[in-house]
Amino acid sequence: MPDTEAIVGWKTITFGCHILEPGSSAKFMTGDWRSQRPVLDKEKCIRCGICWIYCPDMAYSRTQDGYYEVDMDYCKGCGICAHECPRGAITMVPEEL
């Protein structure tokens, strides 16, 4: 584990620790701490979009052919999509170091 070093100084931190730039949460890579990833079996997928609706990090997006694909920068590996998929088309696979 790396040390948790400061990334900002107490004199340079924003007033009230406010975030002054709207929409900046997109810069926060929640995929950093994923320990498992969702893997899709296209054979089973009916393209219902439930995974896309339920993903708490909005990591899914719809592709041209109607399937849903995950942006691994934001997928935190929670497994909600796999749990909610009505067809059991998503399997959670452990990440390897």
Partner 1 sequence: MSRRVGIEVSIAVAEAVRLADVDVVAAYPITPQTHIIEHISELIATGQLDANFIPVESEHAAMSCCCGSSAAGARTFTSSSSQGLLLMSEVLFIPGPLRLPIVMVVADRALSAPINIWNDHQDIMSQRDIGWIQTFAQNGQEAFDLTLHAFRVAEDRRVSLPMIVTIDGFILSHVIEPVKLLTQEEVNQYLPPFKPRYRLDPKRPITMGPVGIPEVYTEAKVAHNEALKASKKVILQGWKEFADLFGRQYHPVETYRSEDADILLVTMGSISETAIGAVDAMRDRGQKVGLARILLWRPFPGPEFRRATRGAKALAVVDRCLPPGATSGPVGTELRSLFYKVPGAPKIFNFIAGLGGRDVRVKHLEEMVDKTMAYIKRRPKELYEVIGAHEK
Q: Residues interacting with ligand SF4, by CB under 6 A?
A: 38, 40, 45-51, 55, 57, 59-60, 68, 70, 75-81, 85, 87, 89-90
Q: Is 82 helix (H, G, I), strand (E, B) or coil?
A: helix
46, 87 contact by CB (below 8 A): yes
Our measurement of the distance from residue 54's CA atom to the centroid of its chain's CA atoms, rounded to an integer in Å, reads 11
User: For residues 76 and 97, which CB has a smaller minimum distance to ligand SF4 in the complex?
Assistant: 76
Residue 58 neighbours by CB under 8 Å, 6+ apart: 74
- State the binding partner of 7 from ligand SF4, partner 1, none, CB within 5 to 8 A by kind: partner 1
- Contact track, partner 1, 21-60, x by CB under 8 A: -x-x------------------------------------
